[in-house]
Amino acid sequence: MMKVLLTGGAGYIGSHVAVSLAAAGHDIVCFDNLSNSRAAVIEHVEAITGQPVPLVVGDIRDRDAVRGAITDHGANAVIHFAGLKAVGESVADPMKYYDNNVRGTLSLIEAMVDCDVRTLVFSSSATVYGEPQYLPLDEAHPTAVTNPYGRTKLMIEEMLSDIAAADPAWRIAVLRYFNPVGAHDSGLIGEDPNGVPNNLMPFISRVAAGRLPELAVFGDDYATPDGTGVRDYIHVDDLAEGHVAALDRIRAQDDALSVWNLGTGQGYSVLDMISAFERINNVRVPHRVGPRRPGDVASCYASPDRARDELGWEAKRDLDAMCASTWRFERTAAMRNA
């Protein structure tokens, strides 16, 4: 049993991982500056897990605050979700991303060393593979970046690799997420971005709910079966269970740093996603084909083999479950706000 500090624990992925860790018998404490989340999320995590979940409101760039949280709660591992993730914003304001993501991670690591905690799971992204040179993407695929957000993820990965090489006492898991979607079955936690969503699934859900008029399909002339972009969508609860498996694995092995893809290996197109969402939830998602979005690739999906072989983990939930849970969260949130 571990006592795990979750930076960004009030966020979309962090809140689901909190639930999975609690279910696996670990103790958790969340640390979040609430820049992209609300404290009420923690109350929902408490309702799901049936146990108190401490929330420390603080910033990862504040070394003393992180040190205090680790010491006060006796944390012996950290899962690091805290970060900014909007690609367009990172192009417009790169310094904000280098400050929050890169400087924030360095400061977090300093605080961990101060407290003699060297077990870390880091949220990376398939964005570090850049334009795919072959598919499926395995962990040996060369890395490349196409925007400042992606560069912060790659810089952090490289920083962690140097740190692990210098001090073999570290136990670090770098997890490269593909496209996390869906919500916990309770409908209590899920993805609820501020403003107009950038990502496909929350956009579809808001159009289905009538909160946005229609979805723009970003291009239908890609070299894919139906011409629209193909991605590896993974249920957030599967992703969450992957974190529990990774934490268990790094504690049991001698490697100072390991990299694992968290994906399903299965690609779906934008049109696949729209029709699945309509069919499963019996709703309509008005959409129209528009121009391509700059920076998008035609297809991106994982080889999940290394995670399966080394973590004994694989995604179990299908596209129907992803669509149904997204809609349940949308409806539950609407009732709560009504």
Give the active site residues: 149
| Closest distance to ligand UD1 from the beta carbon of 181 (Å) | 8
| The one segment of 103-111, 114-122, 259-267, 288-296 that binds ligand UD1 by CB under 6 A | 288-296
The β-bridge relationship of strands 77-80 and 3-7 is: parallel
Q: Is 118 in the site for ligand UD1 (CB under 6 A)?
A: no
> Binding ligand UD1 by CB under 6 A: which of 44, 85, 151, 328?
85
Residues that bind ligand NAD (CB under 6 A): 7-8, 10-14, 32-37, 59-61, 81-85, 100, 104, 123, 125, 177, 179-180
Contact of residue 90 among ligand UD1, ligand NAD, none (CB under 5-8 Å per partner type): none
Q: Which of residues 158-197 bind ligand UD1 (CB under 6 A)?
A: 179
> Binding ligand UD1 by CB under 6 A: which of 49, 186, 199, 332?
199
> What distance in Å separates the CA atoms of residue 330 and residue 334, rounded to the nearest whole number?
6
Secondary structure of residue 177 in the 3-state scheme = strand
3-state SS, 46-88, equals HHHHCCCCCEEECCCCCHHHHHHHHHHHCCCEEEECCCCCCHH
Q: Is 295 in the site for ligand UD1 (CB under 6 A)?
A: yes
> What distance in Å separates the CA atoms of residue 174 and residue 28, rounded to the nearest whole number?
20
> What distance in Å separates the CA atoms of residue 198 and residue 57, rounded to the nearest whole number?
26
What residue is closest to ligand UD1 based on CB?
A: 229
Instruction: Considering the complex, state which of residue 43 and residue 221 has its C-beta at the smaller distance from ligand NAD.
Output: 43
| Closest distance to ligand NAD from the beta carbon of 140 (Å) | 19
Contact of residue 36 among ligand NAD, ligand UD1, none (CB under 5-8 Å per partner type): ligand NAD
Instruction: Considering the complex, state which of residue 226 and residue 318 has its C-beta at the smaller distance from ligand UD1.
Output: 226
Q: Is 239 in the site for ligand UD1 (CB under 6 A)?
A: no
Sign of CA dihedral 61, 41, 87, 139: positive
| Closest distance to ligand UD1 from the beta carbon of 162 (Å) | 23
Site string for ligand UD1, 241-280 (x = CB under 6 A): -----------------------------x----------
Task: Show the tokens assigned to 183.
Answer: 């919500």
The packing angle between helices 319-337 and 270-281, to 10°, is: 60
Q: Is 87 in the site for ligand UD1 (CB under 6 A)?
A: yes
Instruction: Considering the complex, state which of residue 58 and residue 180 has its C-beta at the smaller distance from ligand UD1.
Output: 180
> Binding ligand UD1 by CB under 6 A: which of 70, 112, 200, 333?
200
> What distance in Å separates the CA atoms of residue 135 and residue 300, rounded to the nearest whole number?
7
48-63 exposure pattern, b = at least 16 Cβ within 10 A, e = fewer: bbeeebbbbebbbbbb
Distances (CA, A) of 223 to 126, 229, 301: 20, 9, 15
| The one segment of 159-167, 239-247, 249-257, 293-301 that binds ligand UD1 by CB under 6 A | 293-301
| The one segment of 92-100, 115-123, 291-299, 302-310 that binds ligand UD1 by CB under 6 A | 291-299
Task: Show the tokens assigned to 191.
Answer: 């993805």
Q: Is 8 in the site for ligand UD1 (CB under 6 A)?
A: no
Which phi and psi (to 5°) does residue 231 adopt?
A: -135, 165
Compute the chain's Rg from CA coordinates: 19
How would you class 29 by CB atoms within 10 Å of its CB: exposed for 0-12, middle for 13-18, buried for 19 or more?
Answer: buried
The β-bridge relationship of strands 257-262 and 77-80 is: unpaired
Where on the chain is the footprint of ligand UD1 (CB under 6 A)?
A: 85, 87, 125, 127, 149-150, 179, 198-200, 203, 215-218, 229, 231, 270, 293, 295-296
